[in-house]
A and B are shown apart, each in its own frame.
Chain A
Amino acid sequence: MRTLIGSSALTLALLGATALSALAQDTLKIGYVDPLSGGGASIGQIGMNQLNFIADEINAKGGVNGRKVEIVGYDNQTNPQISLVQVQKAIDEGIQVIVQGNGSSVAVAVSDFVTKYNDRNPGANVVHLNYAAIDPVLTNEKCSYWHFTWDASADIKMEALTNFIKEKEDLKKVYLIAQDYSFGHAVAGAAKRMLTEKRPDVEIVGEEYHPLVKITDFSPYVAKIQASGADTIITGNWGQDLALLIKAAGQAGLDVDWYTFYAGGAGAPTAIKQAGLENRVYQINEGINNQGYGPAEERAGALMQRFSDAPIYYPRMFNMMDMVFKAMVEAGSEDPGDFVPKLEGMKLDSFAAGDEGFMRADDHQFFQPLYISTLGALEEGQKFDEEHTGWGWKMAASVPTESTLLPTKCDMKRP
């Protein structure tokens, strides 16, 4: 039991070391709570890179309200509990703006924590800026005054995608494949609902849910799709679940069109190129590289040049930070208590092509123009390829902001 005393001493030493790391406050610190190690790090690092890039941009212009912006990374290991301690750590270090995106489970936890924290500590005013978690509950049942999201929710994206698909005459048989968790079900469910409504003649020949990030060999699934005679696949898969699926399909020579949310994510373009699916894979998002819009190309070009080992970025993150900085300037304060009201209803010429989007005050969802694009060999005038494949995204259709509006069930509690 002597070691018990030893362990108490250890605690003291460790906590003492922690306390020392508290620093003086002169910059505007923004906390980035996302995976920076382990399996999710490749994705988390992209956001970190982009935030740093944006901070350098604004600092070059003299900062926000005269204060320099500093991005502080907090590795949450994609674990909700660790995330909460990291958010706590950020708050203790004087941070009031938390940026987070990866994983709906983390987003729900962080949003919930921040809301309770502000409730229990009047005047604390911490805001959660979400750039990627798109589970609809975040802007519906679990919406919060202190949470804003810049990515279109699954329902919004599917609404736009099905509007595009319904014009395709030769589309007869659709196969839905999704990861077996709430988001996957949300995507497949929306697809089924909206397709039946918009194109009753289209047959849904399969609806497949496979476990999340557990499958190494997708060929059995591909064989099943093949046997079903489908001509189109709609999927919400992301990450390796998309890359492996596309690769397996390419190897089996599966001849279908793909409609995806995340074909732009890390690894997927490489897989699409290897599978030889030129202009067969569509993605819907808030913007691509090759839209020919000067300001975007300039900014994105500079970013990708700097981070040439992972030349990926999120247009929505530019939207998000541009709006937040604008709100801070308008409010003349960096305290979320002051600038959050400015964000509500704010309009912005969105990053990708300068079309207007707005932050809906009812649920803190950003509505923006969406774009449908396909991946293929670079054409004349296209500047950007993906993952050094020589293939790049090109526009297939654009969806104006007003066609993306959906009602919300959010009952916002305002302080």
Chain B
Amino acid sequence: MTDARTLPRTDAIGGRRPGFLARHAVWIALALALLLLPYLFSSRLALSTMSMMGTMIIFALSYNMLLGQTGLLSFGHAVFFGLGGFFTVHVLNAAGSGDWPIPLPLFPVVGGLGGLAFGILFGWVATKRAGTAFAMITLGIGELVVSSALILRRFFGGEEGITTDRTDVMSFFGYGFGPQLQVYYLIAAWCFLSIAAMYAITRTPFGRIANAVRDNPQRTAFIGYDTSRVRFIAFSLSGLFAGIAGGLSVVNFEIVNAAQMGAVESGSVILMTYIGGVGNFAGPIIGAILVTWLQLILSDATQIWPLYVGLLFIGMVMFVPGGIAGLLAMQAPVMAARKLHRVVPFYLLALAPGIVALVGLSVLIETSHQFSIRASYGPQLTLYSIPLDATSPLPWVAGVVLAVAGGILFMRAERLARDAYHAAVAQGGQG
């Protein structure tokens, strides 16, 4: 697996330093994108969705500080997200009723500090160990915190959680943060800052040593580093950013409850990070956007979306272990060799039957769903704007034919695409 990020970009040997604009092009583009997105998508739903995505991006990146950067698999990361939220909501309520002179944009800091404090506390326990033991400790801590949350009603508000009103606090240069657009910009700003901060951390001595711990903890000890200290710092920092994300979630939704700290949330952040790609800094960003979108959209498209999520998961780990970002990063050498035009046709050639196979599969799944669970709604279903009848053999036969034929063709074409890729990379290597 190639890890583009860890390759030194400025080796200080014979490299000329590019200008400010060129060096920061990505960041400027990101800032512009965040600024302009609401002009492209101005519906309230789009704003809510983007706000949620921004929060999840921070959350997923904070998780990747553990999984991708330090090699720690945690099953309880949502604990810090949730705790950050609870700290924020309490301070927000206190500030609202006590007229404290703190404007809304500063409240995610409270969440971050809460996440950091508990990251330090739980990290002290969990990071003494690594590997599976670490994973199991985080699982245990997650269960403990969620269960205790239902007992400690004053702080966690029981089942209902705690609500707040973000417009109650001091206004910020005249902005009251009632409209979703203002909230979007608040989240976008924090999102930008957090992405930048977390990216910067990967480029510090600590960030590099965390990579070393991920790759080979034993050797890291022999170059002078205490691996459990490295894990501890990574855990605490990731708690900090998860807490910020939790605070932003409170600002966005004005409610937080114990379920947000639970196993489902922890699982979904793993999903985001892994699907996006753990080996690349931007991977979790892609994953957070995609999974959030799927969470909101997939459930409208089909009732049995968990089945698709499960299949997506299995498919990803089996066929695309590097995640989406890994796939993209694989194209870097091809692009560097200017051979993209040689491979793209093959990709498209593979993609077409691949999509056909997926369509076939979804026809089969949806038809059997209509046939079984939704039987009382009659056998009629509409799929891809085509009316189908689950009791007739047509959709079944069509599904099988599409899935099998598409699958076989895909596998052939995939081999061709693979060859084309390797050829392009090899040629690039010679050139």
Are any A and B Cβ atoms less than 8 Å apart in their complex?
yes
Residues of A within 8 A of B (CB): 1-8, 10-12, 14-15, 17-19, 21-22, 36-38, 41, 49, 52, 73-75, 77-82, 84-86, 88-89, 91-92, 103-105, 108-109, 112-113, 116, 120, 135, 137, 142, 180-183, 211-212, 214, 306-310
- Say how far A34's CB is from chain B's closest CB, in angstroms: 12
Check B328–A182 contact: CB distance below 8 A: no
Query: Chain B residues near A2 (CB, 8 Å)?
Result: 26, 328, 332
Check B325–A19 contact: CB distance below 8 A: no
Check A181–B253 contact: CB distance below 8 A: no
Query: Chain A residues near B158 (CB, 8 Å)?
Result: 181-182
Check A19–B257 contact: CB distance below 8 A: no
Query: Chain B residues near A19 (CB, 8 Å)?
Result: 41, 43, 46
A120 to B297, CA, bound (A): 26
A85-B49, A89-B45, A181-B150 as given contacts; A112 in contact with B254, CB under 8 Å: yes
Binds A, one of B204-212, B224-232, B280-288, B415-423: B280-288
A7 to B327, CA, bound (A): 13
Interface string of B285-316 (1 = CB under 8 A from A): 11001100101110110011110000000000
Check B259–A105 contact: CB distance below 8 A: yes
Check B48–A85 contact: CB distance below 8 A: yes
- Say how far A1's CB is from chain B's closest CB, in angstroms: 4
Query: Chain B residues near A308 (CB, 8 Å)?
Result: 376
A86 to B305, CA, bound (A): 16
A11-B289, A81-B260, A308-B376 as given contacts; A4 in contact with B282, CB under 8 Å: yes
B163 interfacial by beta-carbon distance below 8 Å: yes
Query: Chain B residues near A180 (CB, 8 Å)?
Result: 150-151
Query: Chain A residues near B151 (CB, 8 Å)?
Result: 180
Instruction: Please name 11 further chain A to chain B contacts, defined as beta carbons within 8 Å, in addition to the given A3-B277, A10-B289, A75-B299, sorted by A numbering.
Output: A1-B26, A3-B325, A4-B29, A80-B255, A88-B45, A92-B43, A112-B255, A182-B160, A211-B147, A309-B376, A310-B376
Check A1–B282 contact: CB distance below 8 A: yes
Check B153–A182 contact: CB distance below 8 A: yes
21 contacting pairs across A/B (C-beta < 8 A)? A3-B286, A6-B282, A6-B286, A6-B325, A7-B285, A8-B33, A15-B46, A17-B297, A19-B41, A79-B264, A81-B52, A84-B48, A84-B255, A88-B44, A92-B43, A92-B45, A105-B160, A120-B167, A183-B159, A214-B147, A309-B376
Residue in B160, B305, B328 whose beta carbon sits within 8 Å of that of A108 in the complex: B160
Query: Chain A residues near B389 (CB, 8 Å)?
Result: none
Most chain B CB within a 10 A radius of its CB, from A15, A36, A82, A212: A15
- Say how far A107's CB is from chain B's closest CB, in angstroms: 8
A2-B328, A80-B253, A307-B376 as given contacts; A18 in contact with B297, CB under 8 Å: yes
Closest to B179 in A: A120
Interface size of B by CB at 8 A reads 63
A199 to B271, CA, bound (A): 55
Which secondary structure characterizes the binding site on chain B? Answer: helix
A309 to B147, CA, bound (A): 35
Query: Chain A residues near B296 (CB, 8 Å)?
Result: 82, 85-86, 89
Check A104–B160 contact: CB distance below 8 A: yes
Closest to B52 in A: A85
Check B161–A109 contact: CB distance below 8 A: yes
A306 to B147, CA, bound (A): 40
A105-B160, A105-B257 as given contacts; A11 in contact with B300, CB under 8 Å: no
- Say how far A92's CB is from chain B's closest CB, in angstroms: 4
Query: Chain B residues near A18 (CB, 8 Å)?
Result: 41, 45-46, 49, 293, 297
Closest to A81 in B: B253
- Say how far A258's CB is from chain B's closest CB, in angstroms: 24
Query: Chain A residues near B304 (CB, 8 Å)?
Result: 37
Which secondary structure characterizes the binding site on chain A? Answer: helix
Query: Chain A residues near B303 (CB, 8 Å)?
Result: 36-37, 41, 75
Query: Chain A residues near B375 (CB, 8 Å)?
Result: 309
Query: Chain B residues near A75 (CB, 8 Å)?
Result: 299-300, 303, 305
Check B285–A91 contact: CB distance below 8 A: no
- Say how far A139's CB is from chain B's closest CB, in angstroms: 14
- Say how far A121's CB is from chain B's closest CB, in angstroms: 9
Residue in A1, A12, A52 whose beta carbon sits within 8 Å of that of B40 in the complex: A12
A89 to B295, CA, bound (A): 13
A310 to B374, CA, bound (A): 11
A308 to B378, CA, bound (A): 12
A105 to B158, CA, bound (A): 9
Check A36–B299 contact: CB distance below 8 A: yes
Query: Chain B residues near A6 (CB, 8 Å)?
Result: 282, 286, 325, 328
Check B280–A3 contact: CB distance below 8 A: yes
Check B163–A112 contact: CB distance below 8 A: yes
Check A137–B29 contact: CB distance below 8 A: no
A104 to B258, CA, bound (A): 13
A85 to B299, CA, bound (A): 12
A4-B29, A92-B43, A181-B159 as given contacts; A212 in contact with B286, CB under 8 Å: no
B140 interfacial by beta-carbon distance below 8 Å: no
B329 interfacial by beta-carbon distance below 8 Å: yes
- Say how far A91's CB is from chain B's closest CB, in angstroms: 7
Interface hits, B29-53 → A, CB 8 Å: 29-30, 33, 37, 40-41, 43-46, 48-50, 52-53
- Say how far B105's CB is from chain A's closest CB, in angstroms: 18
Check A37–B305 contact: CB distance below 8 A: yes
Check B150–A212 contact: CB distance below 8 A: yes
A11 to B41, CA, bound (A): 10
Query: Chain A residues near B43 (CB, 8 Å)?
Result: 19, 22, 92
Query: Chain B residues near A92 (CB, 8 Å)?
Result: 43-45
A372 to B30, CA, bound (A): 62
Check B283–A3 contact: CB distance below 8 A: yes
B131 interfacial by beta-carbon distance below 8 Å: no
Closest to A103 in B: B159
B249 interfacial by beta-carbon distance below 8 Å: yes
Check B178–A120 contact: CB distance below 8 A: yes
Residue in B161, B295, B328 whose beta carbon sits within 8 Å of that of A80 in the complex: B161
Query: Chain B residues near A5 (CB, 8 Å)?
Result: 26, 29
The 4 residue pairs across chains A and B that have the minimum distance between CB atoms: A75-B299, A3-B282, A92-B45, A1-B26
Check A113–B254 contact: CB distance below 8 A: yes
Query: Chain B residues near A80 (CB, 8 Å)?
Result: 161, 253, 255, 257, 259
Closest to B305 in A: A37
